[in-house]
Amino acid sequence: MSKLFSRLSRAILLSLLVALPLACNNSSPSNGKKKQASASIIIAGSTSVQPFAEKLAEIYMVKNPWAIINVQGGGSTAGVRAAQTGIANIGTSSRNLHPEEKNLYEIPIAYDGIAVIVNPGNPMKNLSTETLRKIYAGKILNWKKLGGVDHRITTITREEGSGTRGAFEELAMEKTEIDQGCIVEDSNGSVRELVGTDPYAIGYMSFGLVNAQVKAIALDNIMPSIEAMKKKRYRFFRPFLFLTRKKPAGLVLKFIQFVLSREGQDILVKEGLIPSAIIQGEKLKWLLQPSREKKS
Amino acid sequence: MAATAIQRKEKLIERIFLLIAFSSIFSLFIIALFIFAEGLPLIWKVGLKDFLLSTRWAPTKGHFGIFAMIVSSFWVTIGALLFGGPLGLMCSFFLVEFASDRLRAFIKPALELLAGIPSVVYGFLGVVYLVPLVRDYLGGPGLSLLTASIILGIMILPTVISISVDALVAVPDSYREAAFSLGATRWQTTYMVTVHAARSGIITSLVLGMGRAVGETMAVIMIAGNALKIPLSPLDPLRTLTSNIALEMGYASGMHRQALFATGIVLFFFVMALNTIATVYARRKRIK
Amino acid sequence: MTPKRSEHIALGLMVSGAFLALAILFFIIAVIMIKGLPHITLRFLLDNPMDMGRAGGIFSTIVSTVYLLVVSLIIAIPLGVGTAIYLTEYTKEGLITKIIRFGTECLAGVPSIILGLFGFILLVIKLGFGWSVLSGGISLSIMILPVIIRTSEEAIKSVPASYRDINKVLGGTRWQGITRLVLPSAAPGILTGVILSVGRGIGETAVVIFTLGTSLRIPFSLFDSGRSMAVHFYLLAREGISMNNAYATAAVLVFSILFINILSYYLMHRFVARRR
């Protein structure tokens, strides 16, 4: 027993000795490079892009067993930061980049609509952008004003910094601010869950993730659909961006090529997104220029 | 010669242990330092008054007021205390003064299991079972101060029960016997003698319970609705300091990130204040 | 109100209070088990999640959880037990012990989201560890450190003073006394604390989601990201990806927590019984 314990205590001391230099050693920010040496990459960022990126990665890895692709959430802004700092090989964003973030290579992999959703039991079918704005600004608080039942509207928005919220503010709110009394949920899924269970709720979410739990409604008499968005009749859509710090190479490039290939784009279309090429109408080569060079 | 070598070795070992012993203080210090270093510049820039007393939180547009969240955290903590406090104390009185030893040996560890249930499970069950009840029978969106208070009240039960039971058990039996011999009933003995004697421990249990409530994050995000207004009724949604950090952490950069750290500073003060109160009360008990 | 009457009312209140608290516990466990157990199969435990967790099992999340816990224990056990040894064997009650105890209490009170924030910005971003087992393990170890210190201290304190006297009489050094006599007889108590902290670590989300990340792949190195079971449950349930798999994951989670708590309770009991 005592022998065992002297051995145990030695092991503990040993592990301490190992752990300490490990903790000190790594304070040098050098391990970004280590990850690229093995054929494994990290994709991180927008929670709206995440499910689609996971799907693509899953299929890509089945076809190329040597590749390891880790997909993370975090949020659009985290995606931008992750790409800038090199924590992720590919950062993802579901909103356009701010001017100060334009030092990255940005590749739009697809476009995604933003659908305004209500509970399936809600008879509402159409809203004008102006009415929608008033609801979110806290000017219209009751369904009665919209010809519905006499009940308070549960208005659900996304958190500050979310790409979906950023795009929604840009497209629907113009200069008005979203009321601070709105309920804030932090993902498409949780907005959908809440609208699906609360008969008086209204929310907005990624069109590609709308399912039977909720009902998408028309805006200014146009139902969201891929067709309507391709023709730019339904205005509520935004890009899904892949962001890299360096010019894509190796597995990063291969994966981006896969995503932009017909096969990759078909997967995204099947999931309810608008293919990148159709709106962009440009070639991959052009897309791989850094955005500041693109302008010239 | 040999003796001094051994002594030297012993001295070295002692030094190592001293170093290790400061690891928790060291971690605490690093965390505090880091959070202050990241958060204070923002408070400096925005101004302490505007940061603490403005209700406008729109970090991407340059507004950093967390007053609504301070008020919300306060109400949620009070709410949790209102639900969890009496229930927890009732349980502990029952366990110590009325239940048989065998019953106590079963119930106390069972209730301590409540502490092991992950907070995400509480949050999830709150959303699935409690939120619709509140929405359908009381009104409002269901995600509310009331819902959060009930769930947090349940989550602080194990803290309240285990610490107050220990305090009650520590009261010498002679106190009780004296009260009985004066003709007091069991309940009279409990609230006039035992509770009085154990009051510092009971207060410690409630304060630590409040600390748990104010620091809880995941469950609150799921059930409180996270709206940025000051809640005016128990049925209004609200956002606490903790959920503010968790909701926006992934997005934050620049001033926004600093603002979240500054939120962390305020939270840190809340928790440290509660901890200090608890320590002071716990010490009072020991002096007696 | 007569004393008799108030006695009855008070007793009624207390019994219903205790009953209510127990009922809540049983409700939680029953709901999770009833809805989750039917979906747990061997394949669920041994298959990796597919389609974001909509299909497949939870194998990689189990591996991530275990890996995360092992790393955090490797860091926290030496520090925690070492602190406890210092507090009990090397010092008398005084200013230093007071400071250390107060620091430990405060650390125990630090909200987990603050640890998450700290770990995310310092370890994940500034030190460049990325979302990884290492970042998660370090952050989590800070969270469980106070638990280990407290339980180890209790365990070491309960070692009879006579052991130390025997050591002195036999001419052993203090270090020999600690490794040969004190630690072995305090081991079951320390183990109880370790098991308890495993229980806390398993269910933790706020710290882990921001430091370990949410990658569904099996982590191999310290720098790989993973997704713990609790985080997996949170994402499945919150995003409404698959309620069946969410409940099944929760059932595995709650079951392991029950098992761990009962085990530590049993160990503690045996330990205490042996001491008497």
Q: What is the pLDDT of residues A199-235, one digit of tens each?
A: 899 999 988 888 888 999 998 888 888 888 877 888 8
pLDDT tens-place string over residues C238-254: 877 888 889 999 999 99
Average pLDDT over residues B44-70: 87
Judged against a pLDDT cut of 80, whether residue C208 lies above it is answered with: yes
User: Is the CB of B208 less than 8 angstroms away from the CB of C109?
Assistant: yes
C148 touches chain A (CB under 8 A): no
Torsion of CA C28, C32, C33, C37, to 10 degrees: 180
Q: Which B residues 39-78 touch C at CB under 8 Å?
A: none
pLDDT tens-place string over residues C114-130: 999 899 888 888 888 88
What are A109's two structure tokens?
A: 């992999």
C-alpha distances (whole Å) from B64 to each of A186, B49, B53, B55, B269 are 19, 11, 10, 8, 18
Domain ranges of chain C: 40-275
Closest CB to B229 among A177, A181, A198: A181
pLDDT band at C140 (very low <50, low <70, confident <90, very high): very high
pLDDT tens-place string over residues B224-258: 989 988 989 899 999 999 999 988 887 667 788 88
What's the CA gap between B136 and A169, in Å, rounded?
Answer: 31
Q: Which B residues 172-231 touch C at CB under 8 Å?
A: 184-188, 190-191, 208, 211, 214-218, 222
Torsion of CA A268, A269, A272, A273, to 10 degrees: 70
The pLDDT score that the predictor gives to residue B284 is 66
Closest CB to C11 among B98, B184, B216: B98
Chain C residues with CB under 8 Å of A71 CB are: 215-216
Using CB atoms within 10 A of its CB, is residue C132 exposed (0-12), middle (13-18) or buried (19+)? buried
Please name the helix (run of DSSP H) or strand (run of DSSP E) that holds residue B64, with its range, or none: strand B63-64
Partner chains of B (3+ C-beta pairs under 8 Å): A, C
B114 touches chain C (CB under 8 A): yes
Smallest CA–CA distance from C177 into chain B, residue = B10
Conformation bin of residue C56: beta by default, left when phi > 0, alpha when psi is -120 to 50: left
Highest CATH level, class, for C40-275: mainly alpha
Nearest-Cα distance to chain B for A182, in Å, is 5
Smallest CA–CA distance from A93 into chain B, residue = B251
Chain A residues with CB under 8 Å of C239 CB are: 187-190, 193
C-alpha distances (whole Å) from B199 to each of B168, B186, B195 are 9, 18, 6
pLDDT band at B220 (very low <50, low <70, confident <90, very high): very high
Chain A residues with CB under 8 Å of C183 CB are: 5, 8-9
ipTM of the complex: 0.89
User: Is the CB of C22 less than 8 angstroms away from the CB of B275?
Assistant: no
The pLDDT score that the predictor gives to residue C274 is 63
pLDDT tens-place string over residues B125-147: 999 899 999 988 988 888 999 99
Chain A residues with CB under 8 Å of C213 CB are: 44, 70, 72
Q: What proportion of chain C, given as a percentage, has pLDDT over 90?
A: 28
pLDDT band at C272 (very low <50, low <70, confident <90, very high): low
| Non-local CB neighbours of A104 within 8 Å, separated by 6+ positions | A80, A83, A84, A91, A97, A243, A244, A245, A290, A291
Ranges of chain A with pLDDT below 50: 1-6, 8-10, 12-37, 279-283, 285-296
User: Is the CB of B227 less than 8 angstroms away from the CB of A186?
Assistant: no
Closest CB to C124 among A87, A189, A192: A87
Least confident of A240-249, B67-76, B84-93: A240-249
pLDDT tens-place string over residues C3-56: 778 888 888 888 898 899 999 999 999 999 999 898 888 888 888 887 777 778
Rounded to the nearest integer, the mean pLDDT of chain C is 86
Nearest-Cα distance to chain B for C221, in Å, is 24
User: Is the CB of C21 less than 8 angstroms away from the CB of B25?
Assistant: no
Chain B residues with CB under 8 Å of A161 CB are: 59-60, 248, 250-252, 256
What's the CA gap between B83 and B202, in Å, rounded?
Answer: 16
Identify the residue among A2, A3, A5, A84 best suited for mutation to test binding to C, counting C beta carbons within 10 A and taking the highest: A5
**Do the bridges between strand A105-118 and strand A154-158 make them parallel or antiparallel, or are there none, so unpaired?**
unpaired
Closest CA to A56 of A245, A270, A234: A270
The pLDDT score that the predictor gives to residue A25 is 37
User: Is the CB of C25 less than 8 angstroms away from the CB of B110?
Assistant: yes
Per residue, the 3-state secondary structure of A54-117, as one string, reads HHHHHHHHHHCCCCEEEEEEECHHHHHHHHHHCCCCEEEECCCCCHHHCCCEEEEEEEEEEEEE
Identify the residue among B217, B251, B256, B258 best suited for mutation to test binding to A, counting A beta carbons within 10 A and taking the highest: B251
Average pLDDT over residues B82-92: 92
A26 touches chain C (CB under 8 A): yes
The pLDDT score that the predictor gives to residue B252 is 66
Q: Which domains does chain B have, with CATH numbers?
A: 53-287 (1.10.3720.10)
Nearest-Cα distance to chain C for A144, in Å, is 30
Smallest CA–CA distance from B136 into chain A, residue = A198
Chain A residues with CB under 8 Å of B141 CB are: 152, 154, 183, 198, 200-201
What's the CA gap between B173 and B177, in Å, rounded?
Answer: 6
Nearest-Cα distance to chain A for B237, in Å, is 7
Smallest CA–CA distance from B17 into chain A, residue = A13
Judged against a pLDDT cut of 80, whether residue B285 lies above it is answered with: no
The pLDDT score that the predictor gives to residue B3 is 64
Chain C residues with CB under 8 Å of B41 CB are: none
Chain A residues with CB under 8 Å of B226 CB are: 159, 183-186
User: Is the CB of C239 less than 8 angstroms away from the CB of A19?
Assistant: no
Partner chains of A (3+ C-beta pairs under 8 Å): B, C
C141 touches chain A (CB under 8 A): no
Q: Whole-prediction pTM value?
A: 0.86
